[in-house]
């Protein structure tokens, strides 16, 4: 497995504020990698350093085997960047913005090619529209198309769905998945837990400029050591199940039981041997990435 990004011991301060504080991680070729954290965690600063837009105070970044501080121009040619704040040009139609960006990158980008690129982000029907006439989701898709004009190996998306409604967010997830399926690596930031869980192969939890944990969403949940909860109706007492090694606690309200367990399968097996259990009432509540975030950082992502 090749690493396309290597970040080593990165630090960056703005005056007294330590925005990035000793960050190290690697990104693998072809994965969708997410930096998840609250506002001010240092996500944008980290991306800007990796993209070669901002110099770090200390540390080293390699992108596609190139040291970003030594060869920033070569790196920029091979990456695509969608900034958190987008700067579309009000006087240009969607396809004209794409054509202009193509020229800036020295890529041949006539109307037909611009149209094809817009089709990749589902915007071909809006090729003649000016930015002000586009919805928030369409504007995000247009800036995504701009980030693709140079056919980059790695795409950086800074909060690609912030401010979008759930439907537009899901549409954008599909586009990002398509882009990754073409063999590109995607690095994105988000403060939406469900986005990290749904979209990212691996997620780095950031808080206060540091990386708290880095794993797959399922791995982060496992690592937090949280129990699942089985909800069930039973006409007999189930309290004796509390002695099972994987069962952490049992709460009872009348005939309703909540069983906290580290091993759902084992507890379910024990439950099926019980008489008086209404199998159709069984409902399993798995811990979420949000639960893991609280467990690992000691606080909620959204206060
Ligand atoms: N240009 C800047 N000047 C001063 N402080 C900044 C600047 N950019 C970011 N910061 C501070 O650095 C910290 C990290 O910011 P940022 O990287 O934007 O985090 P995030 O993208 O996770 O919200 C925050 O405390 C923020 O206020
Ligand atoms: Mg940011």
Give 273: exposed, middle or buried? Use CB within 10 Å, 0-12, 13-18, 19+. exposed
Largest CA distance in the chain: 74
**pLDDT value at 148 more than 60:** yes
- What whole-number distance in Å separates Cα of residue 143 and Cα of residue 81? 9
Q: Which residue has the tokens 């037909």?
A: 112
- Residue 83 is predicted with a pLDDT of 83
Residue 234: both structure tokens together? 């039973």
211 bridge partner residues: 206
Average pLDDT for residues 96-115, to the nearest whole number?
A: 92
Please tell me if the CB atom of residue 261 comes closer than 6 angstroms to any atom of ligand 1: no
DSSP-derived letter for residue 66 is E
Best probe residue, ligand 1, of 13, 14, 210 (max atoms within 8 Å of C-beta): 14
SS3 call for 107: coil
Query: ∠ at Cα 35 (186, 175), nearest 5°?
Result: 35
247 bridge partner residues: 261
Query: Ligand 1 center to residue 18 CA distance, Å?
Result: 9
Residue 55: both structure tokens together? 């110099």
- What whole-number distance in Å separates Cα of residue 188 and Cα of residue 195? 10
Query: Ligand 1 center to residue 40 CA distance, Å?
Result: 5
Q: How confident is the model at residue 303 (pLDDT cuts 50, 70, 90)?
A: low
- What whole-number distance in Å separates Cα of residue 127 and Cα of residue 145? 11
Ligand 1 atom 27: the closest Cα is on which residue?
Answer: 40
Q: How confident is the model at residue 64 (pLDDT cuts 50, 70, 90)?
A: very high
Mean pLDDT of the chain: 93
For 135-171, give the DSSP string.
Answer: -HHHHHHHHHHHHTTT--SEEEEESTTTT--HHHHHH
Ligand nearest to the CA of 42: 1
């Amino acid at each position: 497995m090749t690493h396309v990004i290597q970040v080593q011991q990165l630090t960056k301060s703005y005056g007294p504020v330590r925005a990035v504080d000793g960050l190290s991680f690697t990104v693998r070729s072809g994965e969708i990698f997410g930096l998840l954290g609250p506002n001010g965690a240092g996500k944008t600063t980290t991306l800007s350093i990796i993209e070669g837009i901002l110099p770090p105070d200390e540390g080293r970044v390699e992108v596609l085997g190139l040291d970003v501080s030594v060869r920033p121009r070569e790196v920029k040619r091979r990456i695509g960047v969608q900034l958190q704040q987008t700067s579309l040009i009000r006087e240009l139609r969607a396809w004209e913005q794409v054509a202009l960006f193509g020229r800036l990158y020295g890529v041949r980008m006539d109307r037909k090619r611009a149209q094809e690129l817009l089709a990749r982000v589902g915007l071909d029907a809006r090729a003649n529209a000016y930015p002000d006439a586009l919805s928030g989701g369409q504007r995000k898709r247009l800036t995504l198309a701009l980030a693709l004009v140079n056919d980059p190996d790695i795409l950086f998306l800074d909060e690609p769905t912030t401010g979008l409604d759930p439907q537009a967010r899901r549409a954008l997830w599909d586009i990002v998945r398509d882009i990754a399926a073409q063999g590109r690596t995607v690095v994105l930031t988000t403060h939406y837990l469900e986005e990290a869980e749904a979209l990212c192969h691996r997620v780095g939890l950031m808080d206060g400029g540091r990386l708290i944990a880095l794993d797959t969403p399922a791995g982060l949940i496992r690592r937090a050591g949280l129990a699942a909860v089985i909800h069930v109706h039973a006409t007999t007492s189930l309290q004796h199940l509390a002695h099972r090694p994987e069962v952490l606690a049992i709460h009872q309200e009348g005939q309703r039981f909540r069983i906290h367990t580290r091993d759902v399968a084992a507890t379910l097996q024990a439950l099926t041997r019980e008489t008086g259990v209404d199998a159709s009432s069984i409902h399993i509540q798995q811990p979420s990435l949000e639960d893991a975030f609280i467990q690992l950082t000691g606080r909620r992502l959204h206060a």
